[in-house]
Structure 1
Amino acid sequence: MNRVRLIIFNAALGALDYKVPNGMNVEHGSVVVAPLGPRQIIGIVWEEDRLPGDTVAESKLRPLLEVLPIPPLRKELRRLIEWTADYYCAPLSSVARMVLSSGGAMRGPSTMTEYRLSGTEPERMTPQRAVAMDALKNEQATIRELAELASVSDAVLRGLVNQGVLEPVEVNIDRPYPKAKADFDQPKLSENQQEVADRFVEAVEARTFAPFLLDGVTGSGKTETYFEPVAAALRTNRQVLVLLPEIALTEAFLRRFEDRFGAVPIVWHSSLKSTERRRAWRAIAGGEAQVVVGARSALFLPYANLGLIVVDEAHEISFKQDEGVRYNARDVAVMRARFEKIPVILASATPALESLQMAESGIYKRLELPSRFGGATLPTISIIDLNESKPERGRWLAPELVEALKLRLEKGEQSLLFLNRRGYAPLTLCRNCGYRFQCPNCSAWLVEHRFSQRLACHHCGHETPPPPTCPDCGETDCLVACGPGVERIADEVAEILPEARVSVATSDTLNTPEKAAAFVAEAEAKAIDVIVGTQLVTKGFHFPELTLVGVVDADLGLEGGDLRAAERTYQQVAQVAGRAGRGSKPGEVFIQTRHKDAPVISALAAGDRDAFYDAETEARRGAGAPPFGRWAAIIVSSEDENEAKEAARAIGGTRPNLPDVMILGPAPAPLSLLRGRYRYRLLINARRSAQVQDIIRSWLGDLNFGRGVRVSVDIDPYSFV
């Protein structure tokens, strides 16, 4: 090629053409450095006929500067980037940017300096040096990482370096990862598990697109079942991607993986250090990485030889990105498998209605694990009607649930209380004047967190310490916490059972893999009697001694404007109920509610998932809601309220009038102020025959807005705030 067209990471500029200097070898997918004015930018060489743009005369083209030393992006990944941009109405450059998610990986091999004990004694032994040297036996890492391991300052270790006690070691940043072994520890599967695993293995060996829905009850051994096709991919030197919805689940999964395959997989998530990110990215692109376990962003990594994708807990809404490119990793995973011509497994005990409908229509192959592994039985479920069985004044746990907690403590068994609300209380107000603490950046109340002594907004991250007096009336000792959060429930348990060891498990307390691993280790060692947690504890954890689950407020998820509220509530409560009785001891679940006759509560009480899904399916069918219709949202925002309102009106005033499309709004969003920006929403409900993306692009394409206005499109929205 003597000229190329590049995707650059500036959506406003579009594609740009460049000249290829003599002797420079480029191909489609090559990542290059090019001049743009006085700057140098990174771009991806793309097929010219697939990118719109006027052809620039040869004489006006500037030459490329460099081809970066990484493998070109494969055709299958380029097609996925195009599909994602087209389906989710996102700029092509924004999607492509997610692939090149490690700046350091763009350059060639590199080294770094790490340190280890040399065997030399220090001139003077201090208590801190003694602690450090004892903690760092058999350790090798950077000074900062060693300081964290030893719980000492960097200065202590630098003193040891100066005296030769710690010696420098030059290491290759891109050093290879330990190899997983397909047959390291083959488990004994049940007959049902083996049948399902054999189907997966056949698909991996066939090397063809095959979407599976693995529908297994909680505790049925879905992970062990899909480990078998992972082993099949390893035997043929093909790569595997396993997507998990939460970083807190990663550590427990890594241990199970290591037990099965003799080495941990490569991990990919937002908490990785830049050097770890670089090492992982280059191993994946170079084909050395065998198995990658990651959050949704791992889906866009440049795998050299992908052979299988697994989406665990595939119903989870955290697979939907709500900012930037608003994609659903569950659905994009299926499309990546299609482009790569490989199997994809969607595993869940409570599949999304859309996935079940795809299986019903024959597009997905549904494989079932209807019973728990190893003879364990599903827990019994009891409903506590809070209208009749009221908690004591100032408390939130009904007498039956309190008695069950006491009984489990006496038996030495563990309990779990679920409330999907972080912090101590969702609202703090002044009992004297009624003043309510609201976020200055969002139309949301500040949530009290007593553990960390702060009032926090869970939308923008704003924090402030609780004031000693009311900011409005100046009264002292007048602030009242309204409603329960998990911290308040933990306090109540501590009052009722002062001898119980209570642990709060939320995204605030388990915000790193290390903290999550420590929590799991404590629970498995029976160092915790009662776990109080949010949705973080509804999935993935396996504690054999946990025999009681209490759902503090099953009605919470049914409130607000969530159009999938019933389905989401069923999934959350069924998943958390599935934590009980996973070992040899039977489990019991208590669900507290004020609406015991609500269809979702009745279905949970009866343990009749199919009846609930059938009723929800018919309701969706009648409303033309997904999977029988299409939803899309247009979100308009600005720091100027009038500017946002006028832009929304302009969009609403030019709405298309089509027989198969209904457009609602514009209206202020339920969260009308978010991170300092005023927000308006329009909701589109269309028949499946409608080309929603084309309609939206045509509708918005000719409109112009003020510089401060942002207009975002959300295809298949899961958030309605």
Structure 2
Amino acid sequence: MAASSHIVQVAVPTPLRRAFDYLSPVYLPPGMRVRVSFGRREVVGIVVGEVERSDLPHSRLKPITQSLDAGSILAPPLLDLLCWAADYYHHPLGEVIYTALPTRLRQGRAAVISGVTVWILTPEAKAVDPETLKRAPAQKRLLQRLAEAPEGLEAEQLAQISPRWAAGLKALRTKGWVSSHQRDSQPIFDRDVEPSPVLNPGQKSAVVAITADLGHFRPYLLHGVTGSGKTEVYLNVIEQVLAQGKQTLALVPEINLTPQLVDRFERRFRVPIAVLHSGLNEQERLNAWLAARDGKAPIVLGTRSAVFTPLKNPGLIVVDEEHDASYKQQDGFRYSARDVAVMRASREKIPIVLGSATPSLESLRNARDGTYTLLELPDRTGGAGMPEVRLLDMRRLKPSEGLSLPVREAIAARLAKGEQSILFLNRRGFAPVWMCFDCGWVAPCRRCDAQLTLHQKRQKLLCHHCGAEQEIARRCPSCQGENLHPLGEGTERVEGALQKFFPRACIERVDRDSTSRKGALEEKLRRVHSGEADILVGTQMLSKGHDFPNVTLVGVLNADQGLYGTDFRSSERLFQLIMQVSGRAGRADKPGEVLIQTWHPDHPLFSALQRHDFHGFAGFALTERRETGYPPYSHLALLRAESPAPGAALKFLHEAHVLAVRLVPEKGLQIMAPVPAPMERRAGRYRAQLLVQSSKRVPLHTFLSLWVEQLAESKFSKKVRWSLDVDPMDMY
């Protein structure tokens, strides 16, 4: 080997679970992007190290094609974290690193902050009457909207005006009526700041405890009832982190569902704030990422993948609603952003605050064992009391379109007082079943082991698992009868019922269907805050992060959904969801009431909800988990497989099971028999799974490393699509 050659190890985006050796005439630091030849194509990879010798002969080593950066784009602490994540979740390193990079960096684009194109009207256009363009409706709408926006509009905003915006804009440019310029798109907000409100004793105690550990690793579990002011604790701690010249990374489960949190941060701090979420275009995401990396954004606020955002001067990590399942990636690289955040804080030697009104049982056990420091906020701010919770025994009540008489009367009372109500039903669509009342036939999905949901406004039957659409059957395929009707209620049906019962009320439906258009959710929430909306009906989107001062009633419909689910976490999730949505009631100076419709009013879960007794429920649930050997008293890994061929996934898992039994290092490891997934057929693919359970984490990962390596090299693994899920959140 030539004395001047360096053997560089490069991670590339491939399912192969290793780095690859290349030659470089100069030293390349870990974390630098390079372009390399990989097979028949050129790809962008990341340098992860250097070795003295390669397993391949020198003559077979390819040279680095091009260095794309002047230095490391991923600093050593972040690169080390990504290597740890690849090892812990047993996922290919190249794919893990790609998760941390904005798309433009994956494509090999320059790592520079740049502006976005903004379109404005020329002086000549201001004298043009839009009615002269009535034969060109796209041009007319663009001209009108641009006239209303003297600061100009970006391409993303223009696309909302007309699907033919590009052609319309080109025509307006040709006429000399539109021009463009570049505007700095760095996600910086500079507003007048609001003063910090006076903290109550619980908040003060929490702030003092956390700020005492700035500069040291310590995980805090901030458990506060809904409306207890957890966000204010975050803000006060962040204020002191900023005073030290450090950065804060704040994670939220879903950025589009927590606009108030973003707004609180923007109004409170006169500093640049980088916001990272899936709603950004690629340049905006790159700009925010680079602003965080270069230390230009002292606060970084984002969703799950933002946990891998580079920080120049990390000082604090906050994970809001830490219990939320959205923090777990459910495909590809199946990481938990919450757990990675704790590991990152440990490596960066900074405190991390995990906040929730309903903490996960894993975090609560860590707090009880002393691994986390528990901070309690038992009271609501401003003297507000907890809402009164009433259980409605549906065995004795006859609902009309899902609404019992007590719920209807309670809504009417709120309307009379000018107060607002929320109805929660975690099922979208009109009805979950389209059924023949003569023979019992139920409309099935052709690609899933599931029933189709009726969406009446679209006049379609939809599968909520694979997205398939079908026309509504008017004649039963089984008995040829025409006695077909919807069975059960979804949010769309309840909305229609409310319009019938309360024709003068303004009703807003909040679910994935009604908020799919960009900006729709924000507009609905604006109408709630302005008092235009009287009743909200929606899914779990209503439970997260919203503060509605005038909402005094929450009705929980079909509360038993999930009570006896097949997943061992079903009851925990049901309790968290109902407690979170119940917390929307009575958050200001008006008392709140929660009505829960249930067929099982004697169930201990509902008794705990009625008492607002999270610790009582958690104690019961933890005891149950200990007795059954489920997390947090054990550690799980789930090997999933799927194939379009019936039986192929199970056959692969049987082979994997035989291999696993040979590798089991000790008795503390249990290899369960392969079984079909709870929904065996989904989107035309047959699915199966194999569960591995261990009382100790280290033996589990030692086994998984050997198992996955041999699975990847086995012949039978090429016939199916398979993945390993470490610490699975869903046992579907």
User: TM-score over 0.5 for the alignment?
Assistant: yes
For 1:267, what is the secondary structure of its paired residue? strand
For 1:633, what is the secondary structure of its paired residue? strand
Which residue does the alignment assign to 1:21?
25
Q: Separation in 2 of the partners of 1:487 and 1:340?
A: 48
User: Percentage identity across aligned positions?
Assistant: 37
CA change 1:34–1:130 in 2 (3 A) is closer
1:31 equivalent to 2:37? Answer: no
Residue deviations 1:507-543, cap 9 Å, x none?
2222366222111101001111111111111121100
1:275 equivalent to 2:283? Answer: yes
Once the two structures are TM-superposed, the CA of residue 654 in structure 1 deviates from its matched residue by 3.9
Residue deviations 1:348-372, cap 9 Å, x none?
0010111111111111111111100
Which residue does the alignment assign to 2:658?
653
Once the two structures are TM-superposed, the CA of residue 235 in structure 1 deviates from its matched residue by 2.8
CA change 1:54–1:642 in 2 (3 A) is farther
Q: Separation in 1 of the partners of 2:192 and 2:530?
A: 29
Q: Separation in 2 of the partners of 1:579 and 1:536?
A: 12
Larger deviation, residues 642-651 vs 137-146: 137-146
Q: How does 1:409-558 map to 2 (within 5 A)?
A: 409-472=415-478, 474-476=480-482, 478-511=483-516, 514-558=519-563
Letter in 1 for 2:406: E
Once the two structures are TM-superposed, the CA of residue 38 in structure 1 deviates from its matched residue by 4.4
Can you give the 5+ residue segments of structure 2 that lack an aligned partner in the other structure? 134-138
Q: Separation in 2 of the partners of 1:511 and 1:199?
A: 42
Which residue does the alignment assign to 1:285?
293
Q: How does 1:42-61 map to 2 (within 5 A)?
A: 42-48=44-50, 54-61=54-61
Once the two structures are TM-superposed, the CA of residue 429 in structure 1 deviates from its matched residue by 2.1
For 1:612, what is the secondary structure of its paired residue? helix
Larger deviation, residues 538-547 vs 129-138: 129-138
Larger deviation, residues 129-138 vs 424-433: 129-138
Letter in 1 for 2:47: V
1:86 equivalent to 2:87? Answer: yes
Which residue does the alignment assign to 1:145?
157
CA change 1:59–1:27 in 2 (3 A) is same
Which residue does the alignment assign to 2:136?
none
Q: How does 1:330-345 map to 2 (within 5 A)?
A: 330-345=338-353
Native 8 Å contact 2:424 2:539 kept in 1: yes
Native 8 Å contact 2:436 2:484 kept in 1: yes
Residue deviations 1:650-705, cap 9 Å, x none?
22334426422333331111110122211111222321366212223334543421
What is the aligned-residue RMSD (CA, Å)?
2.6
Q: Separation in 2 of the partners of 1:451 and 1:700?
A: 47
Once the two structures are TM-superposed, the CA of residue 329 in structure 1 deviates from its matched residue by 1.2
Native 8 Å contact 1:183 1:231 kept in 2: no
Once the two structures are TM-superposed, the CA of residue 383 in structure 1 deviates from its matched residue by 0.8
Native 8 Å contact 1:7 1:16 kept in 2: yes
Q: Separation in 2 of the partners of 1:111 and 1:399?
A: 57
Which residue does the alignment assign to 2:199?
189
Query: So what's the TM-score if we normalise by structure 1?
Result: 0.92
Q: Separation in 2 of the partners of 1:343 and 1:707?
A: 44
1:165 equivalent to 2:177? Answer: yes
Larger deviation, residues 482-491 vs 106-115: 106-115
Native 8 Å contact 2:551 2:586 kept in 1: yes
Native 8 Å contact 1:448 1:455 kept in 2: yes
CA change 1:342–1:181 in 2 (3 A) is farther
For 1:311, what is the secondary structure of its paired residue? strand
Letter in 2 for 1:203: D
Q: In the comparison of the two structures, how many residue pairs are matched?
A: 710
Native 8 Å contact 2:508 2:535 kept in 1: yes
For 1:203, what is the secondary structure of its paired residue? coil
Once the two structures are TM-superposed, the CA of residue 54 in structure 1 deviates from its matched residue by 4.4
Once the two structures are TM-superposed, the CA of residue 585 in structure 1 deviates from its matched residue by 0.3
Native 8 Å contact 1:651 1:700 kept in 2: no
Q: How does 1:58-73 map to 2 (within 5 A)?
A: 58-69=58-69, 71-73=72-74
Native 8 Å contact 2:186 2:284 kept in 1: no
For 1:321, what is the secondary structure of its paired residue? coil
1:634 equivalent to 2:629? Answer: no
Q: How does 1:23-422 map to 2 (within 5 A)?
A: 26-48=28-50, 54-69=54-69, 71-103=72-104, 106-108=108-110, 109=112, 113-121=117-125, 124-127=128-131, 132-136=142-146, 137-143=149-155, 145-146=157-158, 148=160, 153-171=165-183, 175-178=185-188, 185-204=195-214, 207-262=215-270, 265-392=273-400, 395-422=401-428
For 2:258, what is the secondary structure of its paired residue? helix
Once the two structures are TM-superposed, the CA of residue 96 in structure 1 deviates from its matched residue by 1.1
Residue deviations 1:25-54, cap 9 Å, x none?
6211111112234432111111346x9x94
Letter in 1 for 2:206: V
Letter in 2 for 1:312: D
Residue deviations 1:377-414, cap 9 Å, x none?
1101111111123324xx32222112111111111111
Which residue does the alignment assign to 1:713?
724
Letter in 1 for 2:683: R
CA change 1:191–1:573 in 2 (3 A) is same
Larger deviation, residues 440-449 vs 561-570: 440-449
Q: Separation in 2 of the partners of 1:606 and 1:371?
A: 14
CA change 1:251–1:103 in 2 (3 A) is same
Letter in 2 for 1:712: S
Q: Separation in 1 of the partners of 2:348 and 2:706?
A: 31
1:570 equivalent to 2:575? Answer: yes
Q: Separation in 1 of the partners of 2:408 and 2:115?
A: 58
Which residue does the alignment assign to 1:686?
694
CA change 1:14–1:147 in 2 (3 A) is closer
CA change 1:68–1:303 in 2 (3 A) is farther
Which residue does the alignment assign to 1:3?
7
Larger deviation, residues 3-12 vs 37-46: 37-46
Q: Separation in 2 of the partners of 1:84 and 1:240?
A: 21
Can you give the 5+ residue segments of structure 1 that lack an aligned partner in the other structure? none
Once the two structures are TM-superposed, the CA of residue 334 in structure 1 deviates from its matched residue by 0.4
For 2:212, what is the secondary structure of its paired residue? helix
CA change 1:513–1:541 in 2 (3 A) is farther
CA change 1:673–1:556 in 2 (3 A) is same
Native 8 Å contact 2:188 2:272 kept in 1: yes
Native 8 Å contact 2:11 2:46 kept in 1: yes
